[in-house]
Amino acid sequence: MLKRLLAPALIALLPLSAMAAPTLEQTNFAKLQGGNTTIAAYKGKVTVLNFWATWCGPCREEMPMLNRLRAKLAPKGVEVVGVALDNKEEVSAFVNQLKISYPILLGDSDTLGLMRSLGNATGGLPYTLILDRKGKIAAKLTGLLDEKKLEATIKAQL
C-alpha cells in the first residue's frame, strides 16, 4: 500500500531526462506539406529514415543520391523519409531547390533526444536508420552515406 502511495511522488522528483523519451513509433512528426504523421504510416515498406539539416554539408551532399535511390527502389517497396532538424521555411526552400521528391518531416525540440535514444549518442548529422517492413530498426548509419553500402543494406531487407 505504501509503495502505491509513494511511487507517484518519487516519479515526480525524477529529472525530466530520467523519464522515458517517446519511442520512434510514438513520435508524431509534422509533414512539410502540412498535417502530421508517425513512422507507423510507412510500415509494410523498407524505410530509409534520414535525419538531416539544411546547414549540414554531408546532409546536403547525400540528398540527391537518396532521391535517386528512392526512385530506383520504390517499386520494390522502399521509401525514403527525411526528418529535418531545421525551420520549415528553410527546409521548404531547400527541398524545392534540390527537387527532393521523398517525404520530408519536421523535427522539433525533442528530435535530438529521440535520435540519441535511437543510438546516435553524439547527436551528429546526418543520421540514418533502415527500418524493416515491420518498422523495426535493421541498421543505424552515422555520417555521409555510401550509396553502394546503403543499397546493399536496404536490399538485405527486401
Structure confidence at residue 21 (pLDDT): 57
| Predicted confidence (pLDDT) per residue in 85-97, tens digit | 999 999 999 999 9
Q: Output the CA–CA distances (angstroms, integers) from residue 107 to 23, 49, 117, in the order listed.
A: 14, 12, 15
What is the model's pTM? 0.86
Note the pLDDT tens digit of each residue in 4-36.
433 333 334 444 444 455 689 889 999 999 999
Classify residue 20 by burial, with Cβ atoms within 10 Å: 0-12, 13-18, 19+: exposed
What pLDDT, on the 0 to 100 scale, is given for residue 7?
36
Say if residue 145 is exposed, middle or buried (CB neighbours under 10 Å; 0-12, 13-18, 19+). Answer: buried
pLDDT reading at 117 higher than 60? yes
